């Protein structure tokens, strides 16, 4: 990939990191948790699926996306409680592990009942 195509993406990523950093130091620090949830990748995925497949396939992708919130909730809930018993880096790693397990279970259940 050419540098001219990568540079704007890198700048946007850097801007998001700076925005999260600034917000985390403000009196509205909790908003820093909202910034990563902007549907950047969802927009890309929905555009690609919607333009390369049928609208029904896009609707299926959207429904799966609704269910995909569950692993994120598992991550947040596990991190909340793990912070009581583990140091931050270990709590984060364990919470990501919980997300991965929940995502795997979701995919297995989806494949069993949807396909």
pLDDT in tens, 62-72: 999 999 999 99
CA distances to 14, 21, 23, 32, 103 from 28, rounded to whole Å, are 20, 12, 6, 8, 30
* Domain boundary assignment for the chain: 1-38, 54-115
pLDDT in tens, 6-22: 888 788 889 999 999 99
Can you give the pTM of this predicted structure?
0.83
Shortest CA distance to 32 belongs to which of 42, 51, 19, 44? 19
For the chain, helix (H) and strand (E) counts, in that order, are 5, 0
């Amino acid at each position: 990939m050419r540098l001219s195509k990568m540079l704007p993406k890198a700048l946007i990523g850097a801007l998001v990191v700076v925005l999260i950093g600034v917000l985390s130091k403000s009196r509205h620090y909790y908003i820093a948790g909202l910034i990563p949830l902007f549907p950047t990748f969802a927009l890309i995925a929905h555009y690609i699926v919607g333009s390369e497949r049928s609208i029904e396939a896009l609707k299926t992708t959207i429904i799966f996306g609704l269910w995909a919130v569950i692993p994120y909730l598992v991550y947040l809930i596990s991190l909340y409680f793990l912070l009581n018993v583990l140091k931050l880096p270990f709590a984060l790693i364990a919470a990501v592990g919980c997300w991965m397990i929940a995502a795997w279970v979701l995919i297995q259940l989806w494949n069993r009942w949807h396909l």
